[in-house]
Amino acid sequence: MKIKCGFEWHVQLNTGKLFCRCKPKIHEEADADMEIRRRFRSSFGESGKIDESAMFEVFREKQIVYKVFKDSDCLVDLDEEPPHDVDKEALETAVNACSALSAEIQKNIIFMRKVIVDGSNTSGFQRTAVIGINGIFRFGNKDIKIRTICLEEDSARKESETSDSIVYKLDRLGIPLLEFTTEPIDTDESEAKEIALAFGRFTRLLNVRRGIGTIRQDINISIEGGSRIEMKGFQNIREMDKAILNEAGRQKTLITMAKNYGYLLREYGELKSLNLSRLLANSNSKILSGAVAKGKIVLGIKMGGLKGVLGNYVEENKTFGGEISDYLHASYGGGIIHSDELPNYGITEAEVENIRGELSVGESDAFILSIVDKAHENIVATEIKNRVNSLLSSVPSEVRSVQSDNTTKFLRPIGGKDRMYVETDLPIIRIDEEVLRAGKRYSDLSVEKLEKEYGLSGEFIDLLIGVNKLNLALELNKKLKLPFSVIVKVLVDDYRYIRRKFDFTVDNGQLEVVLDRISKDSLARDASSKVLENLALGNGKSVDEVIERFRLKKVTDVQLEDEIEHTLSAGGINRPDVLITNLREKLGFSFDASDAYKIASNLLKKNG
């Protein structure tokens, strides 16, 4: 299906936190050291207006609970201390990204505050700065225009949510993010997925973090006659095309419904809503009677002329009524039951008739039931009416989260310019000329360029990206003049083996020393994993100590050839592979099997 789309890519950087010197550390199982509770209010943006998405969050009236970890969070994260200077490495990575995408780097970096009052930022805003504009990402023969490249702080991680509170972990807060925003692209669902996959691969060429959640890809889409929808939280990027197709189909259905039923908006005019708690206190439905027993209100709302409309499917497994329910759940934690799906949920036909009589529902009318807190009784009826109005007028422009079945669900209104205002705790930053010059090394960086410049295969690039060692591999190739086959063995194969078997992470410095000793012929390639094994087991404090202690120093070519000749002259061996097994018993891993195989083959051939 032909669509117009724009991407927003958010990529975590492999640096320290953006505005403090805490080390990023994600806590999956550890208990928090303390909890802090807060509530948020909206504030005016630079335009002097309150942003719609901020006002939406305020109306939800939720308490925010923060779980704090002493080894990854500080007073800056808690908004109890002003931000420190911007992390230098993060800023350099942002400049490198701009160079790679041929973007215009801003001379003066000014951080702005973006109002966010859903609790994900302890300050009530997110700090973000434009680093570059007007970049280009080359996708095949197509140039994808990059509108902005921003450096910003990541938000806290949501752990759980109830009707009256949200719990966040603070460990992710403040990790630097690069945000790439594209201009609108005329495309289809299949190409959009391929663009997203290609850009995700490109970002791995930069100094970024690896793992689940370190790159988040949002997409804004619209179809002809529709509106801009921001889709967030793709569960599986390889199924992005399915999610896009489902959302485009949903919009298409809503456009058709607006044409067919839009006139009905005049029919129900003033909503009639009543408290039906007394009527339904003894309902056969445990949902309704249980809610009344807990002090909740069962609100009944007459929807004039909408019989049959609420049960219309807007996408697979979701009705028009389901769209209303999603909206209400996001706003107030509730949902709805509508007359097109009754009798159901234990609500009998007799109870349906009693409700219809109480609300004066006619033959062509529908009704909605919603369980609400008493404080929300009046506003919920208004919100339901507003949602119906928006759905039957056009496709509402909003943010929707992508579900596991590749459908979308209302999340919040789309934020706008009204939520931006200038950051007052940080100075204007002028990027050093040295940083700009260093960034030019990344000019037009791409997988294709690396393949051509270094003779590095796409397979090796993917392997190195997978362990976040690509930049290190490129540096060591130039510095040590080692072939990538050797570098990949140590940085990928050995690194993964040690991490998996010993639950030990070898640092880059140790890996570099191993490769340096291989380049100087003081360590056999075959011995690299043995060195790293002993380091993981604590059998030595340095690479050189392990080499010396376990007699892993590589023998010279002359010594190896002499040993092979001596072994062959003893007789009984006429195959290179058998010879190598024999040599391993004598020399251990002080030689490379490939070298021994070549020498042995030549000697055996020479001796007939």
Residue appearing with tokens 């399915």: 242
Tokens of 415: 């934020």
- Domain for residue 294, yes or no? yes
pLDDT of residue 58: 61
pLDDT of residue 52: 67
Closest by Cα among 347, 237, 246, 244 to 291? 347
DSSP state for residue 345 in the 8-state scheme: T
- Domain for residue 233, yes or no? no
The stretch 46-71 carries a mean pLDDT of 76
Same domain, 65 and 148: yes
Q: Which of 507, 525, 549 is the last residue of a domain?
A: 549
Peptide bond into 576 cis (omega under 30): no
The larger pLDDT score, comparing residue 47 to residue 446, is at 446
Q: Are 496 and 532 within 8 A, CB to CB?
A: no
- Domain for residue 369, yes or no? yes
Counting every residue, how long is the chain?
608
Same domain, 283 and 139: no
What is the count of structural domains for the chain? 4
Q: Name the range with the highest mean pLDDT among 39-43, 161-165, 371-375, 508-512.
A: 508-512
Q: Rounded CA gap, 272 and 255, in Å?
A: 27
Tokens of 151: 């450096």
Beta pairing class for 176-182 and 2-12 = antiparallel
The packing angle between helices 470-480 and 458-466, to 10°, is 120
Residue 51 has pLDDT above 70, yes or no: no
Q: Rounded CA gap, 558 and 599, in Å?
A: 10
The stretch 188-204 carries a mean pLDDT of 93
Closest by Cα among 152, 147, 165, 170 to 67? 170
CATH of the domain at 352: 3.30.1360.30
Question: pLDDT tens-digit profile of 498-556?
Answer: 999 999 999 999 999 999 999 999 999 999 999 999 999 999 999 999 999 999 999 99
The stretch 388-417 carries a mean pLDDT of 90
The region of weakest confidence among 42-51, 135-144, 158-167, 365-374 is 42-51
Confidence of residue 212 (pLDDT cuts 50, 70, 90): confident
- Domain for residue 575, yes or no? yes
Same domain, 295 and 374: yes
Question: pLDDT tens-digit profile of 473-499?
Answer: 999 999 999 999 999 999 999 999 999
**CA R_g for the chain:** 32
The larger pLDDT score, comparing residue 466 to residue 472, is at 472
The larger pLDDT score, comparing residue 40 to residue 446, is at 446
- Domain for residue 87, yes or no? yes
Question: pLDDT tens-digit profile of 279-333?
Answer: 999 999 999 999 999 999 999 999 988 999 999 999 888 999 999 999 998 877 7
pTM over 0.85: no
Residue appearing with tokens 């298409």: 252
Same domain, 601 and 454: no
Write the CB contacts of 206 (distance below 8 Å, at least 6 apart in sequence): 11, 13, 93, 96, 97, 100, 178, 442
- Domain for residue 382, yes or no? yes
Task: Give the Cα-Cα-Cα angle 385, 387, 389 (nearest 5 degrees).
Answer: 70
Question: pLDDT tens-digit profile of 407-421?
Answer: 999 998 887 666 788
- Domain for residue 280, yes or no? yes
- Domain for residue 328, yes or no? yes
Confidence of residue 448 (pLDDT cuts 50, 70, 90): confident
Same domain, 93 and 159: yes
Residue 200 has pLDDT above 80, yes or no: yes
Same domain, 493 and 568: no
Same domain, 320 and 356: yes
Phi then psi dihedrals of residue 3, to 5 deg: -135, 165
Same domain, 55 and 185: yes
Same domain, 15 and 162: yes
Distance of CA 18 to the CA centre of its chain: 18
pLDDT of residue 267: 64
Please tell me whether residue 354 adopts helix, strand or coil conformation.
helix
pLDDT of residue 55: 65
Tokens of 171: 């460990």
Confidence of residue 139 (pLDDT cuts 50, 70, 90): very high
Tokens of 309: 């409309």
Q: Rounded CA gap, 220 and 231, in Å?
A: 6
Same domain, 561 and 527: no
pLDDT of residue 316: 84
Same domain, 572 and 534: no
Q: Rounded CA gap, 88 and 21, in Å?
A: 11
Same domain, 100 and 166: yes
pLDDT of residue 39: 84
Domain residue limits at 574: 557-606
